[in-house]
Amino acid sequence: MIIEKYGKHFDYSLIDRNTGWRLQTIAERSIDGLNLGKIKESIYCPVCGGNDSDNIIEIYSFTYSKCLHCELVYLPEISNAEKLKEMYLNNDQELQKSPGDDLINSDNFRARVDLICKPKIDFILENTKYKNPKWVDFGCGVGDFVMAASEKGCEAVGYDIDNREVEHGQMNGSNIFCKDINENNAKEIVGLADIVSFISVLEHIPNCSSVLDMVVNASKGDANFIIEVPRFNSVSSLINLNFNDKVSRHMLPPNHVMLFTDNAFRYMLRKVGLKIDAVWYYGMDINELFGTLLLNKASRFLDIGDLKTLLNEMQLTLDKSKLCDEMLVVCSKDRSME
């Protein structure tokens, strides 16, 4: 039986993505999207490899489509794959806003460790058999997740290709390194790991299914896999679809090459030989809703100062209805497929 959990408390006063942040991010992301979209290449569905899809919406010159086979929502035309990778390798100076800018320049590292990451570590440890696991985190960013795991007694290490984020995390004491995983080093990196995690990573990778398959094949038989991905069937998607000129997160091309439907996610897991043991549903949909609505200057005439006290309660309702924009999934190898 799959264990399910709903709702994740968030203190909006500690990491404040306010209207000013949203307006600046919209301006910067829209410019970057238009520039990166000048030269595109076609790709097949990153999960099933299909080539038939229905167009959904255009955002910043990129079009999201839904695969007619596995139901993944993805960009059938993306920036050159090497160009996408360059965004993380070198933080291209042509960009108005590089992917790691918020984590490095504005967010509180300590607050992210305690507020965002530690509850996730607790959920994972509660739903795996390991107490002090060897843990490898791919796409670790600034290493807040690795730091949280280490402070919970795990033997954790993280890897990322963004040298700027890695240096920032190392300055904060996180055990992370700048390294790209490939067929040559996968076994060496994950062969002894008890837990392997991809936290908000797979949606950025055009070949997400093959990367996950490579890591699963390189791991030991009783390893657990932790995957956090954005969900298409969410209120955040609904907001982005209706305000596609005001997108600052979630359906954000070309950073997010894809968003997962539940069918597409299960399809990917079956393809690489994994099964779901536990799922935690949560999101930022209510913040996305009011953050977008408050962009209208006339909203300043409303007296909604107490709104923040209601955000978590409203979000919990969406989480319980599985209309949230994120899920954290604990997986293990499916022995029935051997």
Domains of the chain with bracketed CATH: 3-337 (3.40.50.150)
Percentage above 90 pLDDT, the chain: 73
Amino acid 84: pLDDT: 67
Ranking 18-22, 113-117, 238-242 by mean pLDDT, the lowest is 18-22
Residue 19's pLDDT band (boundaries 50, 70, 90)? Answer: confident
pLDDT at 209: 96
Rounded Cα distance, 119 and 131, in Å? 15
Name the average pLDDT for the chain: 91
Contact 268, 258 (CB under 8 A): no
Query: What stretches of 90-143 show up as alpha helix (H) in DSSP?
Result: 101-105, 109-111, 118-126
Judge residue 236's burial from the number of C-beta atoms within 10 Å of its C-beta, 0-12 exposed, 13-18 middle, 19 or more buried. Answer: buried
pLDDT at 89: 61
Could you give the C-alpha distances from 209 to 41, 206, 269, in angstroms and in order?
A: 19, 8, 9
Average pLDDT for residues 260-288, to the nearest whole number?
97
Q: Which pLDDT does position 309 carry in this prediction?
A: 81
- Cross-strand bridge partners of residue 225: 196, 331
* Average pLDDT of span 179-185: 94
Residue 8 has pLDDT above 60, yes or no: yes
**Token digits of residue 110:** 């300590």
7 vs 122: CA distance, rounded Å: 14
Strands, E assignment, the chain: 3-6, 40-42, 53-59, 62-67, 73-74, 77-79, 134-138, 155-160, 176-178, 195-199, 224-230, 258-259, 274-282, 326-333
Residue 206: partners with Cβ closer than 8 Å, 6 or more residues away: 43, 46, 78, 81, 84, 257
**Per-residue model confidence (pLDDT) at position 299:** 80
Q: Which of 213, 207, 265, 228 is nearest to 71 (CA)?
A: 265
User: What single-letter amino acid sits at 81?
Assistant: A
User: Cβ(25)–Cβ(288) under 8 Å?
Assistant: no
pLDDT at residue number 82: 67
- Between CA 147 and CA 286 the distance in angstroms is 28
| pLDDT of 102 higher than 80 | no
pLDDT at residue number 215? 98
- Of 98-102, 174-178, 179-183, the range with the lowest mean pLDDT is 98-102
Enumerate helices (H) and strands (E) in the chain, giving the number of each.
13, 14
Give the burial string for 1-31 (b: 16+ CB within 10 Å, else e). Answer: eeeebbbbebeeeeeebeeeebeebbebbbe
Is pLDDT of 94 > 90?
no
Question: Would you place residue 67 in the very low, low, confident or very high pLDDT band (cuts 50, 70, 90)?
Answer: very high
Amino acid identity, residue 309? T
Whether the Cβ atoms of residue 141 and residue 162 lie closer than 8 Å to each other: yes
Residue 232 corresponds to which amino acid? F
